[in-house]
Amino acid sequence: MISLNHQVLVGESRRSAQISLVMTILPGLFLLLLSCSPRVEQDRYRVGFLMETLKEERWQRDRNLFVAAAEKLGAEVDVVACNHDDNLQLAQAEAMLAKGVDLLVVVPHNGDICATIVRKAHAQGVRVIAYDRLIRNCDLDLYVSFDNERVGELQAQYVVDRLPRGNLVLIGGAKTDNNALLFRKGQLNVLQPLIDSGLYRVIMDQWATDWQPAEAMKHMENALSRTTDIQAVIASNDGTAGGAIQALAEKGLAGRVLVTGQDAELAACRRIVAGTQSMTVYKPIHRLAEAAAEAAIQILKGQVVHRATDAVPNGRIDVPSILIEPVVVDISNIRQTVIAEGFHSEHAIFD
């Protein structure tokens, strides 16, 4: 099927060639494609926001920030969450398309399965933005996220700067989440030379299904059953860090082992102050949500997405991307980062 869904990526000359070919072969199809083009300058746009979960503090913030930013720019947002259920996420997307949304923003549970959502949306002339997590193997219109490989590098480098040698436990997130793979890639960018040299030894390397803290706790308990001689846990987010810390606490090791995290959740920030979690990676999600909302309206108006200066391969195309830089937070700069930006109050963290 010939599509016009690459305006962010494809130049004017290529588009003209495609249109000319369609007009020559099948004029009726050309008219159909024109009817599916972005609806410029509507009074109000309807955006569907398909989320994986709303059970975590981080994703509740994303929802609130994105909805506020999109409404300010002239869009109505319908939000649903699939709670880690791929079939439900596909059904929710179909329901959104049936209701006539103008654009979909998707936080995929499974980056491969959600390619079906992109294909179904494009068949109806609806564009798709992948929010925070990449959708793979499809003609995705835009990807808005953080530099996720860099997140992993920051986590590993934090440990390396404080631990010249030692035994490590690696706890990743959901293997269905492309970000989890990128975090691990970034971590190994830093760690692998030290592992190869024998300075670091990996006691356990596991993945937590659906990022569940209980899974992380189970993996940490298994590692501790082998040995308590562990100097660092590289947990890929704050939820898995919390699960690992629970297991460490049961052995009297909480606060004695370096533990990384990500998302700057309130519970994690409080653990940093208490000394049981070493660091988190703060991702200023207000910038992510605002960038996604701005890009959505620009796409709907047929404008160039000026901030899409990066490209990320998804197995089919190099997806135009907006990537935001993450920030390391520990006890030394927690006031200058998450508190100064109003992400959490000093009272909430310290009291």
Tens digit of pLDDT for each residue in 79-116?
A: 999 999 999 999 999 999 999 999 999 999 999 999 99
**Integer CA distances (angstroms), 185 to 57, 178, 251, 311, in order:** 26, 11, 30, 18
The 10s digit of each residue's pLDDT in 21-34 is 333 333 333 322 33
DSSP 209: G
What is the model's pLDDT at position 76? 97
Cβ-proximal residues to 64 (8 Å cutoff; 6+ apart), any chain? none
What is the model's pLDDT at position 42? 64
The parts of the chain modelled with pLDDT lower than 70 are 1-43
Within the chain, what is the greatest distance between any pair of CA atoms? 75
Kindly report the CATH class assigned to 38-140+285-325.
alpha beta
What is the model's pLDDT at position 34? 30
The DSSP secondary structure of 291-307, one letter per residue, reads: HHHHHHHHHHTT---TT
Q: What are phi and psi of 285, to 5 degrees?
A: -70, -15
At 128, list the tokens: 């798709």
Domains 38-140+285-325 and 148-283+328-350 share a fold: yes
The 10s digit of each residue's pLDDT in 319-328 is 999 999 999 9
Domain ranges (residues) in the chain? 38-140+285-325, 148-283+328-350
Q: What is the C-alpha separation between 247 and 347, in angstroms, rounded?
A: 28
Q: What is the C-alpha separation between 145 and 288, in angstroms, rounded?
A: 6
Q: What is the C-alpha separation between 332 and 302, in angstroms, rounded?
A: 45
Domain 148-283+328-350 has CATH 3.40.50.2300: yes
| Nearest to 263, CA basis, from 241, 280, 242, 243 | 280
What is the model's pLDDT at position 30? 32
At 60, list the tokens: 């509740």
The SS3 call for residue 46 is strand
